[in-house]
Amino acid sequence: MSEQDAAEAARLLSARRPIRTQTCQWCGKPFGAREAARYCSQRCRSAAWKSSHQESEFDSVVRGVRRLLSRLPKDQRIEVLDLVQRLEQEERSPQAGLLDFGSE
């Protein structure tokens, strides 16, 4: 068997491998793939990667605070939640403060 034949045989074999239905771990859509795969597309793969690798320090602090909040009594929870939301807004729109200054 020539090298070319071997490559062709390998290609045919892989094409005949059954397609398994899997569920995308990012968007939850079912998809078919011959190899075990976690995501249906490159887009989902990179979105999942980003969310696990690019969480900012602030995001993780907010997450921690929210976790602590669930243990507080309700009235205290609302107070802290207000503060967290205000901080979150400031963090996500750093221009807001400047715009307030500039407006007439």
Interface ranges with Zn ion (CB under 5 A) = 24, 26-27, 40, 44
Residue number with CB closer to Zn ion (37 or 69): 37
Taking a C-beta distance cutoff of 8 angstroms, is the pair 77, 68 a contact? no
Question: Which of 27, 80 has the CB closer to Zn ion?
Answer: 27
**Shortest Å distance, C-beta 29 to Zn ion:** 5
**Least distance from Zn ion to the Cβ atom of residue 48, Å:** 9
Query: Measured from the CB of residue 46, what is the shortest distance to Zn ion in angstroms?
Result: 11
> For residues 25 and 89, which CB has a smaller minimum distance to Zn ion in the complex?
25
Residues with Cβ within 8 Å of 77's Cβ and at least 6 positions away in sequence, in order, are 69, 70
Residue 33, number of CB atoms within 10 A of its CB: 14
Answer left, alpha or beta for residue 28, where phi above 0 means left and psi between -120 and 50 means alpha.
left
